[in-house]
């Protein structure tokens, strides 16, 4: 037989303690945390560590959120705990408890006189617990005003009135904040404006008469939302709350209608804003396309202007001034005898063969030579234009530069000779093309005797910083092969093989320079997703695999397979 919330202990006249006793009259159980509170023990679990199973054990209770284990003391454990305490209240409480236990054993129940009354109390508790769970599920996440039952004191009980929009969360908060193990929901009222409704309830004169602030919260702070009532008073409070709730819900439809209208207008505004954003994006796209087309037209216009200038220049160069001497005038009879075909042929000859500049200088004749035979020409061309017309992909500028610089162009040597002049007996020696700057810009520091490489730097910047030189003087030293900072300087691959071999016999070349802005790129096997290689920049990949930078960026973004591999940019 369980004894539920049946005892009240008065201490020194100013404090009031509530005791829950379970078990049977022969083996009563006392809730340990309540006893600890009376004795002023802050951590009751620590105080009970050395208690055995005959003195203390756990009792499981259902709280609405699951099973909760609570420490309960047996009669033996209670007397042992009281015997340890040196506080004056311990002796007073022990005498009161012994008297209470004796009365329980004599009468069979303290305050609850008959077994039928006990059964009725248990049935009421079970019914309240069932209603509690129903309330939690029905009014979950709704605006409500609630009534919780916290404590039972003799023939009255303590209730808490409040409002919330999350009844489950509020139940847990009350369990943690108030002196109750299992707060029960007695009633719940759904109210749209629950905050103002609760304020109106608390102002009611009848309800204010039952305000109860003693020893309700765990931190002993006074509560303005708890009331001590009996059953009749509770029923009257429920009627008052129902009446107040009705007045709030009747005024709600009009405001709800306004809210709905505002919500519809807000939705319409969002829709219009979305359409405006879409139109604006479309306008921006069209504007961008127009700008692109405008740029294309501008480029085409510039190309046409260049083409027109080129044509005008060619016409200017090809224009022939036919100067006829008076002594060589053709009489009318001869002109009459000239046929139309002869006139066309003469015009063609004037344009393509007898080209003269405005200053009267004749167009040169072009001689073509084999690079291996600089004495005997292979072919004679009447003009550079003649070469351009008859050979594929000939650039007039490149042809002139080859003749001027004694270099090979289109696998031949070329010589420009004034008209009516003889070609040279032998051409000058062929000059190879100018040496390009090496791909790897290793810089070699050479000793003053030019016999030995002393050091190699990865680039010009590193060499300048290492030797504390100025860029201009350093560049001039390489170009003019002069001394700077006490040494000669040159590109490493321009040095002699002997000097390079001697240096590599005892040293190694520095790591190839990669710009700081370069980001590493991984080459990934598409089948195993393993990293096969890591390159220092996208420029290196584009050169090795012959792909464009834009294509590389595209496949890295879309994770596509390109040239048999996947590519990933390391950030």
Tokens of 36: 């600890």
Residue 418 · residue 367 · CB < 8 Å: no
* pLDDT at residue 295 is higher than 50: yes
- Range among 313-317, 330-334, 354-358, 372-376 with highest mean pLDDT value: 372-376
For the chain, state the CA radius of gyration. Answer: 54
The confidence score (pLDDT) of residue 441 equals: 74
What pTM was computed for the model? 0.30
Residue 146 pLDDT grade (very low, low, confident, very high; cuts 50, 70, 90): very high
Name the maximum alpha-carbon separation found in the chain. 168
The average pLDDT across 115-119 equals: 53
Share of the chain above pLDDT 70, in %: 79
DSSP state at residue 451: S
Output 270 or 114, whichever has higher pLDDT: 270
- Comparing 26-35, 56-65, 538-547, which segment has the lowest mean pLDDT? 56-65
The confidence score (pLDDT) of residue 219 equals: 72
Q: Residue 485: count other Cβ atoms within 10 Å of its Cβ.
A: 16
* pLDDT at residue 334 is higher than 50: no
- Comparing 3-7, 174-178, 383-387, which segment has the lowest mean pLDDT? 3-7
Residue 237 pLDDT grade (very low, low, confident, very high; cuts 50, 70, 90): very high
* Of the candidates 445, 379, 446, 447, the residue with the CA atom closest to the CA atom of residue 415: 379
For residue range 497-533, list pLDDT tens digits in order: 999 999 999 998 988 766 555 678 899 998 899 999 9
For residue range 417-435, list pLDDT tens digits in order: 998 888 998 888 888 754 4
The b-or-e profile of 98-137 (16+ CB within 10 A means b, else e) is eebbeebeeeebbebeeeeebeebeeebeeebeebeebbe
What are the residues facing 158 on neighbouring strands? 151, 228
C-alpha distances (whole Å) from 220 to each of 99, 205, 424, 537 are 28, 26, 121, 70
* Of the candidates 24, 23, 85, the residue with the CA atom closest to the CA atom of residue 57: 23
Average pLDDT, the chain: 79
* Distance, CA of 38 to CA of 82 (rounded, Å): 10
The confidence score (pLDDT) of residue 356 equals: 43
Tokens of 112: 């609850």
The confidence score (pLDDT) of residue 368 equals: 93
- Comparing 112-116, 233-237, 407-411, which segment has the lowest mean pLDDT? 112-116
* pLDDT at residue 132 is higher than 90: no
Q: Residue 242: count other Cβ atoms within 10 Å of its Cβ.
A: 11
The confidence score (pLDDT) of residue 369 equals: 93
Residue 307 pLDDT grade (very low, low, confident, very high; cuts 50, 70, 90): confident
* pLDDT at residue 79 is higher than 70: yes
* pLDDT at residue 360 is higher than 70: no
* Distance, CA of 561 to CA of 571 (rounded, Å): 20
The confidence score (pLDDT) of residue 354 equals: 40
For residue range 552-562, list pLDDT tens digits in order: 889 998 999 98
The confidence score (pLDDT) of residue 110 equals: 46
The confidence score (pLDDT) of residue 503 equals: 92
For residue range 437-492, list pLDDT tens digits in order: 445 579 999 999 999 999 999 888 889 988 888 888 888 888 888 998 889 999 99
55: left (phi over 0), alpha (psi -120 to 50) or beta: alpha
The confidence score (pLDDT) of residue 185 equals: 86
The confidence score (pLDDT) of residue 88 equals: 79
């Amino acid at each position: 037989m369980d004894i539920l919330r049946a005892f009240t202990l008065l201490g020194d006249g100013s404090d009031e303690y509530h005791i829950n006793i379970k078990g049977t009259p022969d083996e009563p159980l006392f809730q340990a945390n309540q006893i600890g509170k009376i004795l002023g023990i802050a951590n009751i679990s620590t105080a009970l560590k050395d208690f055995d199973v005959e003195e203390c054990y756990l009792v499981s209770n259902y709280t609405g959120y699951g099973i909760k284990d609570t420490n309960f003391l047996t009669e033996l454990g209670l007397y042992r705990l009281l015997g340890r305490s040196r506080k004056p209240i311990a002796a007073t409480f022990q005498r009161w408890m012994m008297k209470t236990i004796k009365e329980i054993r004599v009468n069979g129940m303290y305050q609850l006189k008959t077994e039928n009354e006990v059964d009725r109390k248990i049935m009421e508790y079970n019914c309240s617990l069932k209603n509690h769970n129903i309330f939690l599920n029905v009014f979950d996440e709704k605006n409500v005003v609630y009534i919780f039952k916290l404590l039972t004191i003799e023939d009255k009980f303590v209730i808490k009135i409040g409002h919330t929009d999350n009844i489950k969360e509020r139940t847990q908060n009350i369990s943690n904040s108030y002196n109750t193990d299992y707060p029960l929901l007695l009633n719940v009222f759904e109210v749209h404006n629950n905050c103002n409704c609760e304020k109106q309830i608390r102002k009611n004169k009848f309800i204010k008469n039952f305000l109860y602030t003693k020893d309700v919260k765990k931190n002993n702070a006074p509560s303005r939302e708890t009331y001590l009532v009996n059953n009749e008073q509770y029923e009257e409070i429920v009627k008052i709350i129902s009446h107040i709730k009705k007045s709030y819900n009747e005024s709600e439809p009009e405001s709800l209608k306004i809210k709905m209208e505002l919500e519809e207008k807000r939705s319409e505004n969002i829709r219009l804003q979305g359409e405006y954003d879409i139109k604006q994006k479309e306008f921006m796209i069209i504007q961008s396309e127009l700008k692109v087309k405008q740029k294309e037209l501008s480029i085409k216009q510039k190309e046409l202007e260049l083409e027109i200038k080129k044509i005008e220049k060619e016409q200017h160069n090809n224009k022939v001034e036919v100067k006829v001497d008076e002594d060589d005038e053709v009489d009318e009879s001869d002109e009459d005898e000239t046929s139309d075909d002869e006139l066309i042929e003469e015009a063609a000859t004037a344009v393509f063969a007898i080209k003269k500049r405005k200053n009267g200088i004749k167009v040169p004749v072009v001689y073509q030579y084999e690079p291996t035979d600089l004495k005997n020409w292979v072919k004679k061309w009447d003009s550079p234009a003649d070469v351009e017309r008859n050979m594929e992909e000939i650039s007039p500028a490149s042809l002139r530069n080859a003749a001027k610089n004694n270099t090979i162009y289109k696998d031949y040597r070329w010589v420009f000779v004034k008209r009516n002049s003889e070609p040279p007996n032998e051409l000058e020696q062929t000059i190879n093309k100018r040496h390009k700057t090496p791909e790897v810009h290793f810089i070699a520091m050479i000793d003053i005797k030019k016999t030995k490489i002393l050091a190699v730097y990865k680039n010009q910047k590193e060499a300048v910083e290492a030797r504390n030189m100025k860029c201009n003087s350093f560049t001039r030293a390489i170009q003019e092969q002069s001394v700077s900072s006490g040494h000669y300087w040159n590109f490493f691959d321009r040095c002699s093989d002997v000097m390079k071999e001697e240096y590599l016999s005892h040293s190694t070349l520095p790591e190839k320079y990669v710009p700081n802005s370069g980001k590493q790129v991984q080459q990934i096997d598409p089948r195993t997703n393993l990293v096969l290689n890591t390159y220092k920049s996208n420029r290196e990949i584009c050169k090795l695999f012959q792909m464009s930078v834009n294509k590389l960026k595209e496949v890295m973004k879309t994770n596509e397979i390109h040239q048999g591999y996947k590519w990933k940019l390391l950030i």
